[in-house]
Chain A
Amino acid sequence: MVDVASAPKAPPNAALETAAETAAAPLPTGAGATTPPSTLRRMFRHRGLTIGAFLVGTIIFVALFAPLIVPHDPYAQDLTRRLIPPVWYEKGSWAHIFGTDNLGRDYFSRTLYGAQIALLIGFSVMIVSGFIGSALGLIAGYFGGKVDMVVTFFITTRLAMPVVLVALAVVAMIGSSLFVVIAVLGLLKWDRFAVVMRSATMQVRSQEYVSAAQAAGASTWRIVIGEILPNVMPHLIVVATVEAGSAILLEAALSFLGLGVQPPLPSWGLMISEAKNFMFFSFWLIAIPGTALALLVLGVNLLGDGLRDVFAPGGRS
């Protein structure tokens, strides 16, 4: 079914191919494992990448220093000061820059803390799914043959399952919490990692330096870590950023449907869901977290795109 020797240019499965197409780029030429200085310089010159890095960096900074920056406790309610508009409205005040929500909590503080949750989710899911997917992809790409068949079958099966539906069902079963959401998303979203890693591994594996290492008698483990991994790393990074963004949006959707993070945690998706009741007359309550989400995912996507362009000389940029 899957011919190991055939170049990944014509993989036999449409889904795998298209998933790989949209995520991966042609390999960097050369057998070296380190980033040549010109790549770094290219990074700084790439406008999209710098914007993305700036956005993500700012949000990371905010998340890390939130406890020091916030003017109020994001969980402290004051029922007598509900739904105060942000400072740029007539009725707003500098005491609450972003106004207050339906329970009188300072929205600016909540938005800042929301960054922690968004990043935590994006990062954790990326790590869990990245680990699972990369391991599977590496194995499939390196060993080929029956192993590849089995892994490909896994991947195709996983692709056939609608993620949102399965996530909802599982969460409804176990009860939702931050941990459950991360676990469920992590266990579901490894497919792209697997596909790209498999594809990239197959390409690298056919390179000369790998056969040289094999001929020299190096152990499989060493070949994987020493030769393959460094060369597929760029692909991994690109996919990781895309998946992080996607995980953040998915958690927001789950929270929106009531099966994600539970209140009073200030997840941006949950904040949008809670603000739905007020969307017509207090639009800022959904606009602010919605914009924050969009900016974060935008930053992550730009970063990913930029990295892909930078790692692919003569590529699609």
Chain B
Amino acid sequence: MNFKTCSTALAVALLTATAMPAYAQKAQNTVRFAYDQVPENIDPFFNNVRIGVIIGQHVWDTLVFRDPATGEYKPNLATSWEWIDDRTLEMELREDVTFHNGDAFSADDVVFTLNYVANPDNRSVTQQNVNWIENVEKLGDYKVRITTTKTFPAAIEYLSGPVVIHPGKYYEEVGPQGMNTAAVGSGPFKVVSHDVGRQLVLERNEDYWNENKQVPNIERLIIRFIPDRQTQAAELMSDGLDFIMNVPVDQAEQMGMMPNINVKSGETMRIVFLQMNSLDNTPAEPLKNEKVRQAINHAIDRQTMVEQLVGEGARVIDVICFPAQFGCSDEEATKYEYDPEKARALLEEAGYGNGFSLDIYAYRERQQTEAMVNYLREVGIDANLRFMQYAAFRDANRAGEVAMSHQTWGSFSINDVSANTPVFYKFEADDVNRDEEVRDLLQTGDTSVAADERAEAYKKALGLISQRAYAVPMYSLTSYYATADGLEFQPYPDEIPRFWEMEWK
């Protein structure tokens, strides 16, 4: 094997190779998609991974539909809804929907599903998505009343996203385990087979009722679990797959030059930030000092990182939320310019002229963490990288063991600040700063009903977080998708590929 001219040889070989196998997939009208993480259970309430959200949208439906283009909420399984009071929501339901197993959809399904998953005893792993529901009762065959635990204006947003509706009778019989092995929903795709840990085969639901999505153009969707990204890329390049996502930037740009592959990028709602533990028992004493935290904000060249490492379409952010989310405003934020001199000066003022060392935890995009570590090194801060799985990191963070972490947050694609900032600043498990003023402002934002009141409160809270430098807001992430040539596809910022829209040209 000739190492030297490998790249050129590769390019030549591929350019002259025939593109046969793609036709095979076109002829069969199938899309083969690979993902790296295996969901422990494909029931959306019992897994924490993106692929679970994706499968959720394809096999099931939600009560409300949010139009990705306009942001409008449209009827879905629910035909209309009304807030009776601050905590009560009444919804009328569609009458002509059938689940994949033939069961007719009615209020019973909504009642059973929501009550089941909201019950802490059933241990849904996406608690944040369901614990705002206190109780759901049936008012008629096609009418339900949802009572929330507290004033929760974002309820509609959640009911249009991660909260799907299961067939009640079936769910009661088989439970989440049964749902995993033989899933039944009402969505655009039916599950044909689930070989746990290996692949999931979905088939078009010919009788799909919903104009919000559509009856899929493709007949089959095969989801394979391939843990190694390189293997996924290799498969795509040798026509073994048709669609992969989360392609590393550098690889994506190169793959795009190949004739049988198309690459698309899209900004996502996922933001990246450095979280710093400033509590009394923080493992890194210096972080308690505001000047130190501000120094760290000045130390990192976010713009260069965005240009060189992150990808097309990403942008620098100055507050801890995604710019398009409702309530996300950086008007009162301090904009920390990249200024290593100033960083060192601040550290000197704070008494750490000789620098200090700490551990930085990360669980994804290690390349970016390493770049951050390097910037810190240049101002005298020795950050020791501890890379691990998300679950292990989360446990360590909640136990107060983590001084600094490279965090990302996708807000479960909910377009509202309440799904983002409060997670880290409202005295919840992941809050490592615990600022009462910020908490109270966020509380106001979360529970007020008037939009301008909410926006004002959020703006102030975000401003305080920035001024007190509790974190270093970095940038938004772009996601790169690579597809076989001929597959029509459009990316969305919620990182959910919509296979029901795709077709072979």
Which listed residue (B3, B304, B374, B386) contacts A284, Cβ 8 A?
A: B3
Provide the bound-state CA to CA distance between A276 and B231, in Å: 10
- Asked if A2 is an interface residue, CB under 8 A from chain B, the answer is no
- Asked if B385 is an interface residue, CB under 8 A from chain A, the answer is yes
Given contacts A175-B386, A276-B230, A277-B230, contact A263 B308 (CB under 8 A): no
Q: What B residues does A77 contact at CB under 8 A?
A: 370-371, 374
Provide the bound-state CA to CA distance between A258 and B370, in Å: 15
Q: What B residues does A82 contact at CB under 8 A?
A: 250, 308
Given contacts A103-B367, A258-B387, A262-B385, contact A280 B374 (CB under 8 A): no
- Asked if A221 is an interface residue, CB under 8 A from chain B, the answer is no
Given contacts A79-B305, A82-B308, A284-B3, contact A279 B230 (CB under 8 A): yes
Provide the bound-state CA to CA distance between A278 and B233, in Å: 11
- Asked if B7 is an interface residue, CB under 8 A from chain A, the answer is yes
Query: For residues 197 through 242 of chain B, which have their beta carbon under 8 Å from a beta carbon of chain A?
Result: 228-230, 233-234, 237
- Asked if A281 is an interface residue, CB under 8 A from chain B, the answer is yes
Provide the bound-state CA to CA distance between A262 and B385, in Å: 7
Provide the bound-state CA to CA distance between A281 and B263, in Å: 15
Query: For residues 236 through 270 of chain A, which have their beta carbon under 8 Å from a beta carbon of chain B?
Result: 258, 262-264
Query: By the criterion CB–CB under 8 Å, are A79 and B308 in contact?
Result: yes
Which listed residue (B4, B251, B308, B366) contacts A280, Cβ 8 A?
A: B251
Which listed residue (A102, A280, A287) contacts B10, Cβ 8 A?
A: A280
- Asked if A80 is an interface residue, CB under 8 A from chain B, the answer is yes
Q: How far is the CB of B14 from chain A (nearest CB, A)?
A: 10
Query: By the criterion CB–CB under 8 Å, are A103 and B385 in contact?
Result: no
Which residue in chain B gives the minimum CB-CB distance to A291? B3
Query: By the criterion CB–CB under 8 Å, are A281 and B370 in contact?
Result: no
Query: By the criterion CB–CB under 8 Å, are B233 and A80 in contact?
Result: no
Q: What A residues does B16 contact at CB under 8 A?
A: none
Provide the bound-state CA to CA distance between A287 and B4, in Å: 10
Q: Which of A77, A263, A278, A281 has the most CB of B within 10 A?
A: A281
Provide the bound-state CA to CA distance between A274 and B248, in Å: 12
Provide the bound-state CA to CA distance between A89 and B237, in Å: 23
Q: How far is the CB of B263 from chain A (nearest CB, A)?
A: 13
Provide the bound-state CA to CA distance between A103 and B371, in Å: 7
Query: By the criterion CB–CB under 8 Å, are B386 and A277 in contact?
Result: no
Q: What B residues does A175 contact at CB under 8 A?
A: 386
Query: By the criterion CB–CB under 8 Å, are B366 and A263 in contact?
Result: yes
Query: By the criterion CB–CB under 8 Å, are B250 and A103 in contact?
Result: no
Q: What A residues does B304 contact at CB under 8 A?
A: 79-80
Provide the bound-state CA to CA distance between A196 and B301, in Å: 57
Provide the bound-state CA to CA distance between A258 and B255, in Å: 25
Which listed residue (B4, B250, B377) contacts A83, Cβ 8 A?
A: B250
- Asked if B373 is an interface residue, CB under 8 A from chain A, the answer is yes
- Asked if A143 is an interface residue, CB under 8 A from chain B, the answer is no
Query: For residues 358 through 398 of chain B, which have their beta carbon under 8 Å from a beta carbon of chain A?
Result: 366-367, 370-371, 373-374, 377, 384-387
Provide the bound-state CA to CA distance between A51 and B308, in Å: 44
Q: What B residues does A284 contact at CB under 8 A?
A: 3
Query: For residues 278 through 314 of chain B, which have their beta carbon under 8 Å from a beta carbon of chain A?
Result: 301, 304-305, 308-309
- Asked if A44 is an interface residue, CB under 8 A from chain B, the answer is no
Q: How far is the CB of B388 from chain A (nearest CB, A)?
A: 8
Which listed residue (B251, B370, B384) contacts A103, Cβ 8 A?
A: B370
Which residue in chain B gives the minimum CB-CB distance to A281? B254
Given contacts A77-B371, A280-B254, A281-B254, contact A262 B10 (CB under 8 A): no
Q: What A residues does B377 contact at CB under 8 A?
A: 75
Query: By the criterion CB–CB under 8 Å, are A283 and B7 in contact?
Result: yes
Given contacts A175-B386, A278-B250, contact A75 B374 (CB under 8 A): yes
- Asked if B6 is an interface residue, CB under 8 A from chain A, the answer is yes
Given contacts A263-B370, A277-B230, A280-B237, contact A79 B309 (CB under 8 A): yes
Which listed residue (A88, A277, A280, A282) contacts B234, Cβ 8 A?
A: A280
Q: What A residues does B229 contact at CB under 8 A?
A: 276-277
Q: How far is the CB of A179 from chain B (nearest CB, A)?
A: 13
Query: For residues 62 through 83 of chain A, which have their beta carbon under 8 Å from a beta carbon of chain B?
Result: 75-77, 79-80, 82-83
Q: What B residues does A278 contact at CB under 8 A?
A: 250-251
Q: How far is the CB of B475 from chain A (nearest CB, A)?
A: 13
Query: For residues 92 through 106 of chain A, which have their beta carbon under 8 Å from a beta carbon of chain B?
Result: 102-103
Q: How far is the CB of A257 from chain B (nearest CB, A)?
A: 11
Q: How far is the CB of A74 from chain B (nearest CB, A)?
A: 12
Which listed residue (A75, A274, A277, A287) contacts B3, Cβ 8 A?
A: A287
Provide the bound-state CA to CA distance between A86 and B6, in Å: 13
Q: How far is the CB of B78 from chain A (nearest CB, A)?
A: 44
Query: By the criterion CB–CB under 8 Å, are A88 and B308 in contact?
Result: no
Provide the bound-state CA to CA distance between A274 and B386, in Å: 15
Q: How far is the CB of B37 from chain A (nearest CB, A)?
A: 15
Query: For residues 128 through 178 of chain A, which have their beta carbon under 8 Å from a beta carbon of chain B?
Result: 175
Query: By the criterion CB–CB under 8 Å, are B386 and A262 in contact?
Result: yes
Q: What A residues does B367 contact at CB under 8 A?
A: 102-103, 274
Q: What A residues does B373 contact at CB under 8 A?
A: 264
Q: How far is the CB of A253 from chain B (nearest CB, A)?
A: 15
Which residue in chain B gives the minimum CB-CB distance to A177? B384
Q: What B residues does A262 contact at CB under 8 A?
A: 384-387
Query: By the criterion CB–CB under 8 Å, are B385 and A264 in contact?
Result: yes
Provide the bound-state CA to CA distance between A73 and B57, in Å: 49
Q: How far is the CB of B239 from chain A (nearest CB, A)?
A: 15
Q: What B residues does A83 contact at CB under 8 A?
A: 250
Query: By the criterion CB–CB under 8 Å, are A264 and B10 in contact?
Result: no
Query: By the criterion CB–CB under 8 Å, are B7 and A282 in contact?
Result: yes
Q: What B residues does A276 contact at CB under 8 A?
A: 228-230
Query: By the criterion CB–CB under 8 Å, are B251 and A277 in contact?
Result: yes
Q: Which of B228, B370, B387 has the most CB of A within 10 A?
A: B370
Query: By the criterion CB–CB under 8 Å, are B370 and A264 in contact?
Result: yes
Query: For residues 252 through 280 of chain B, which have their beta carbon under 8 Å from a beta carbon of chain A?
Result: 254-255
Residue interface bits A185-221, CB-to-B below 8 A is 1, else 0:
0000000000000000000000000000000000000
Residue interface bits B78-103, CB-to-A below 8 A is 1, else 0:
00000000000000000000000000
Query: For residues 258 through 314 of chain A, which have their beta carbon under 8 Å from a beta carbon of chain B?
Result: 258, 262-264, 274, 276-284, 287
Provide the bound-state CA to CA distance between A76 and B385, in Å: 16
Q: What A residues does B6 contact at CB under 8 A?
A: 283, 287
Which residue in chain A gives the minimum CB-CB distance to B257? A281
Which residue in chain B gives the minimum CB-CB distance to A82? B308
Which residue in chain B gives the minimum CB-CB distance to A76? B374
Provide the bound-state CA to CA distance between A75 and B382, in Å: 13
Which 7 residue pairs across A and B have the least CB separation, nearest first? Answer: A281-B254, A79-B308, A77-B374, A283-B6, A277-B248, A287-B3, A276-B230
22 interchain pairs (CB within 8 A)?
A76-B374, A77-B374, A79-B305, A79-B371, A80-B308, A82-B250, A103-B371, A103-B374, A175-B386, A262-B384, A262-B385, A262-B386, A262-B387, A263-B370, A264-B370, A274-B366, A280-B10, A280-B230, A280-B255, A281-B254, A287-B3, A287-B6
11 further contact pairs, Cβ within 8 A, besides A88-B4, A277-B230, A281-B254? A77-B371, A79-B309, A79-B371, A89-B7, A102-B250, A263-B366, A277-B250, A277-B251, A280-B230, A281-B10, A287-B6
